[in-house]
Amino acid sequence: MTFPTSPADIDALVPEVIALIIEALNMELEPGEVDPDAPLYGDGMGLDSIDMLEISLVISKRFGFQMRSDNDDNEKIFASPRALTAYIASQRTQ
């Protein structure tokens, strides 16, 4: 079973995904401090490829689907918290 992916659903899920990222990476941020449209890599949240692997693992556990390192769309999926959330919303089973 997959869940609907309307813009409102994505907007409602963004804070949960940001909180999950912060918790998984033990960041000293509050979810409200993170711009959902800022890049995850480099300037935005300043994450690297190891961080992305860690995020993928917690997302897989929390939302019930496997993220793959060989997905051709990973650059788009991990572009920002909102892009990641949109992908999660389209794939999740929990």
Pick the range with the lowest mean pLDDT from 3-12, 20-29, 39-48.
3-12
Cα-based distances in Å from 12 to 15, 16, 17, 85, 86: 7, 8, 10, 10, 11
Residue 1 confidence class, pLDDT cut points 50, 70, 90 = very low
Domains of the chain, first to last: 7-91 (1.10.1200.10)
* Tens of pLDDT, residues 52-92: 999 999 999 999 999 988 999 999 999 999 999 999 999 98
Residue 9 has pLDDT above 60, yes or no: yes
Can you give the pTM of this predicted structure?
Answer: 0.89
The answer to whether the CB of 84 falls within 8 A of the CB of 78 is yes
Q: How many helices (H) and strands (E) does the chain have?
A: 4, 0
